Amino acid sequence: MESEMAEQHGSWPGTAQPPAGWLPGRSQLPAGLPPGPPPRPVYREPNPITVAPLLSGLGATLVWFALFGAIGRDLLTYAWWTVAAAISAWIVATVLAVLGDRGVATGVALASGIGLSIATGFVAVRWITTSDWPLW
């Protein structure tokens, strides 16, 4: 039985040439049937997000947060200036997403989320260690 299987050499039936007039991706319909639905559309992003605008938005927002954070002289003022920087960055990111470059808007949103998370971490550490809410 095993020797019979090993002796069968030949091409697979799928390697035969297609019939004349055959188009790849379209099935042949029997005569008399209505055509099927049109092929599905392929949607492409007209302005894809690339790395350079994303990194430029990220870098600009990091500078923005550093400047706002430098205004604060203690944790209370640093946290509130960071909240102000985050709100203004989110407004800029929204405007950029609607009217401008969405890659830059994505970078701005990423950096503002990270900056606000860092400030929140500092506030949480102070609150946990001293049992005193530092923002009032």
Q: What is the pLDDT along the chain (136 residues), one digit of tens a residue?
A: 555 555 555 555 566 676 666 666 655 666 777 777 777 777 887 778 899 999 999 999 999 999 999 999 999 999 999 999 999 999 999 999 999 899 999 999 999 999 999 999 999 999 999 999 988 8
For residue 99, the enclosing domain spans 51-130
Per the domain annotation, does 36 fall within a domain? no
Per the domain annotation, does 94 fall within a domain? yes
Per the domain annotation, does 37 fall within a domain? no
Res 108: pLDDT:
97
Identify the H or E element spanning 130: helix 102-130
Per the domain annotation, does 66 fall within a domain? yes
Per the domain annotation, does 108 fall within a domain? yes
Cβ neighbours of residue 117 closer than 8 Å, sequence gap 6 or more: none
Res 36: pLDDT:
73
Task: Give the whole-angstrom CA distance, residue 12 versus residue 96.
Answer: 57
pTM comes to 0.66
Per the domain annotation, does 3 fall within a domain? no
Neighbours of 109 (CB within 10 A): 21
Q: What total of structural domains would you count in the chain?
A: 1
Res 34: pLDDT:
74
Per the domain annotation, does 118 fall within a domain? yes
